[in-house]
Copies of this chain bind each other. A is one copy, B any other.
Amino acid sequence: MSSPPLSPDELEVRLRAIGAERYHDKHPFHRLLHGGQLSLGQVQAWALNRYVYQAAIPRKDAALLARTEDRALRREWRGRIVDHDGDAHDEGGIERWLRLTDGLGLDRAYVVSQRGALPATRFAAEAYVRFVAERPTLEAVASSLTELFAPAIHAERIAGLLANYRFIDERLVAYFRRRLDQAPRDVTFALSYVREHARTPEQQAAALRALEFKTEVLWAQLDALHFAYVEPGLVPPGAFRPEC
């Protein structure tokens, strides 16, 4: 009954197909964002919600370190925590994200408190942290493979934001510029890891499902933003209400 396992190349094709179908570059919210069709208030809502996700990423990566006995994997993976939290030489991705929210006129303490974020954003970000903490290491690594698809959206975002919004300048897109370098390096390792460790049909199905799960985490955040701030535009009780 059971099919033979895919070759590593076949597995990679299937992984990439998930991006082609389900990555959040297809979400209408991103088309509006990159096309200059949002108000400052809507861009603020996006940035302060996305902060919740950014802030969860180093915890997600630490959860992977915390559950694997594979020292080589830990050595490689811990660089991601540095990328986001920074060190003596680099402020880190979260600080770069806060320079974006600063530049959009949002109060930094309010952004960091996450008080104005949509509950759905928090639920999705935590679901990702839990997934990585609880699922087998292979699935935890596979769930990071949305980075395969990130450079294209980041390049499009940088160009779109700079071209279309008078309130966005080069300083504000520093986060995305840096990710253009970081994400390909990270994903090269993660993809090799998955190609090597997903050997049985069951492991391969689990790796594919893990990547699908991650696309759901990203997509659900945009659904919530779109619902609250675009159409029908119903902000849940207690969440950020744009003034502009």
Residues of A within 8 A of B (CB): 21-22, 28, 118-120, 122-124, 126-127, 130, 212-213, 215-217, 219-220, 223-224, 226-228, 231-232, 234, 236-238
Given contacts A120-B120, A126-B127, A238-B212, contact A224 B224 (CB under 8 A): yes
Q: 3 nearest interchain CB pairs?
A: A119-B216, A123-B123, A227-B227
Q: Are A126 and B130 in contact (CB-based, < 8 A)?
A: yes
Main SS class of interface, A: helix
Q: Which of B21, B28, B120, B213 contacts A224 (CB 8 A)?
A: B120
Given contacts A127-B127, A234-B28, contact A220 B22 (CB under 8 A): no
Q: Are A120 and B124 in contact (CB-based, < 8 A)?
A: yes
CB distance from A159 to the nearest CB of B (A): 25
Q: A232 vs B232: C-alpha distance in the bound complex, in angstroms?
A: 7
Q: Which of B22, B216, B231, B238 contacts A22 (CB 8 A)?
A: B238
Residues of B within 8 A of A124 (CB): 119-120, 123
